[in-house]
Each structure stands twice: as structure tokens, then as C-alpha cells.
Amino acid sequence: MRLFLFPLLLLGLPLAEIAGFVMVGRWLGLWPTLGLVILSGILGAMLLRVQGLGVLRQIQMEGREGRVPGEAIIHGAMIVFACILLVLPGFLTDILGLLLFIPAVRTLLWGLIGQRVVVKSSYSASARGNPFQNPRQNPEPGKGPVARTLDLDSDDYQRKPNPSSPWSDGPDSKPDDER
């Protein structure tokens, strides 16, 4: 059944867009129709910048608070997709793109697909600690936060200059104005 929908969408969307161009062209005329298409592309780029920066701030805030920014990342992906829809010529794609710029519509879509999205880590959280956990919170009830301390003596670490390095303060180095 799903294989049937893809070719229908692939052929049906351009035909619907052409029909939309014809209807709007008859109603407004050629030049206003072309102006609307160009205006929608410019509007898509401007909205991407404004709302995209807001989503980036939200992702940073959630990361600082130790939460996985899954919903904010999905909102950002929807904004990028909405911009692509606005840049594509056509009025149906513009309507869908404008709908995706509305935060309530994105939240509704996230509610529909969010339960199916699983965020997985590429490393073991138990071996390296959970990077998304707030370090002020206790990892387990009754236990304090995990702190890894590396104690070095002065014999364990020494900085040895490399005389061949251009950043070295060795005997061969001269200030730039003396060269």
C-alpha cells in the first residue's frame, strides 16, 4: 500500500502545483504570480534565519541543563524542511512550509511522531558517564556525584621545550623584529 502512495505523490504534487499556478495566474495575472513565487522564496530564507536562531538557542539551553534536546532538534529539522518547501516554486508547498513555521503545528507533529523517535548514544553511558546528565544532580539516589580526579606529582609531568618548534623559547628563537 505504501509503495502505491509514493508514485502518486511524486506525480500528483507537480500536477497540483501546476494547477495552482494556472488558477492563481488567472486570478492575479502573470507578474503578480511570479512575484508571489519569488517573495515566498525570500520569506522562507528570512524565516529560516529568525526561527532557526531561536531553535539553536533552545538546543544550547537544553544542552546546558543536561537534557537531551530531541524535541528542539526535531523543531529545527522541521524549520529547515519548511524553508525548503517555501523556496520550491509552488503554492501548495508554500502553504505546507508556512504551516511548519507555526510552533503549534510543529508541536502537534512532534506529538504524533515523537513517540516513535528513539535517541541512542554511540557510547556506553555507564562506562563514561552520561554526558546529558546535570553534574549537580546525583547519578544514583543515595550517592554523591561522580568526580574523576587525576593526581600528578611534579615528577609525573614535565614540559620539555622543543627547540625545532617555531613557538619555542629556545636559544635559536629570536623576536620577529630581529629577523
Residues 6+ apart with CB under 8 A from 78: 100, 106, 109
Q: Are 132 and 119 in contact (CB under 8 A)?
A: no
Question: In which band, very low, low, confident or very high, does the pLDDT at 175 lie, cut at 50, 70 and 90?
Answer: low
Distinct helix (H) and strand (E) counts, the chain? 6, 0
What's the whole-number mean pLDDT along residues 148-174? 69
Q: What is the CA radius of gyration of the chain?
A: 28
Q: What is the pLDDT of residues 110-155, one digit of tens each?
A: 888 777 777 665 544 444 455 555 555 555 555 555 567 777 777 7
3-class DSSP assignment, residue 149:
coil
Quote the mean pLDDT of the chain.
75
Say what the pLDDT of residue 40 is.
85
Distance CA 127, CA 116 (A): 27
What's the whole-number mean pLDDT along residues 55-61? 82
Q: Grid coordinates representing 94? A: 508554500
For residue 77, give the nearest of 104, 106, 50, 102 by alpha carbon. 106
Say what the pLDDT of residue 141 is.
53
Say what the pLDDT of residue 154 is.
76
- Residue 15 or 137, more confident: 15
**pTM for the predicted model, two decimal places:** 0.56
In the chain, the percentage of residues whose pLDDT exceeds 90 is 2
The domain segmentation of the chain, as residue ranges, is 13-116
Buried b (16+ CB within 10 A) or exposed e, 140-160: eeeeeeeeeeeeeeeeeeeee
Say what the pLDDT of residue 170 is.
54
CA dihedral 8, 14, 18, 24 (to 10 degrees): 100
Say what the pLDDT of residue 172 is.
52
pLDDT of 178 > 80? The answer is no
81-90, 101-110, 111-120: least confidently modelled range: 111-120
Q: Give me the sign of the Cα torsion angle 65, 67, 73, 75.
A: negative
Say what the pLDDT of residue 126 is.
46
